[in-house]
Amino acid sequence: MQFSGVLFDMDGVLVDTDQAVADLWNGLASEYGLTISDGEFAAHVYGCVPEHTVETVFAPLAEPDRAKVLTRVRESEPDLAFTPVPRASELVHDLAGAGVPLALVTGASAARADRALRTLGLTGRFGTTVTWGESARGKPAPDCYLLAARRLGIPPAACLVFEDTSGGVRAATAAGATCVAVSRLDPAPLRAGGARHVVPGFEAVSFRRHAAGAVLNVAGQEDMQFGSTAGHHPVTPTTATHTEGGSPCR
pLDDT score of 98 more than 90 = yes
Quote the pLDDT of residue 52.
82
**Distance from C-alpha of 215 to C-alpha of 109, rounded to nearest angstrom:** 31
pLDDT score of 236 more than 70 = no
pTM of this prediction?
0.87
DSSP assignment of 68-130 equals HHHHHHHHHGGG---EEPTTHHHHHHHHHHTT--EEEE-SS-HHHHHHHHHHHT-TT--SEEE
Among the ranges given (142-146, 223-227, 242-246), the one the predictor scored with the smallest mean pLDDT: 242-246
Confidence band (pLDDT; 50, 70, 90) for 51? confident
Q: Taking residues 121-139, what's their average pLDDT?
A: 92
φ, ψ dihedrals at 196, nearest 5° = -70, -40
**Percent of the chain at pLDDT above 70?**
91
What average pLDDT is seen over the chain?
89
181 and 174 Cβ atoms separated by less than 8 Å:
no
Give the chain's domains with CATH numbers: 2-15+83-226 (3.40.50.1000), 18-79 (1.10.150)
Confidence band (pLDDT; 50, 70, 90) for 233? very low
Quote the pLDDT of residue 228.
53
Confidence band (pLDDT; 50, 70, 90) for 42? confident
Among the ranges given (106-110, 161-165, 216-220), the one the predictor scored with the smallest mean pLDDT: 106-110
Closest among 32, 85, 24 to 50, alpha carbons compared: 24
33 and 41 Cβ atoms separated by less than 8 Å:
no
Q: Taking residues 38-62, what's their average pLDDT?
A: 88
Q: Taking residues 91-97, what's their average pLDDT?
A: 97
Burial class of residue 167 in the structure, from the number of CB atoms within 10 Å of its CB (0-12 exposed, 13-18 middle, 19+ buried): buried
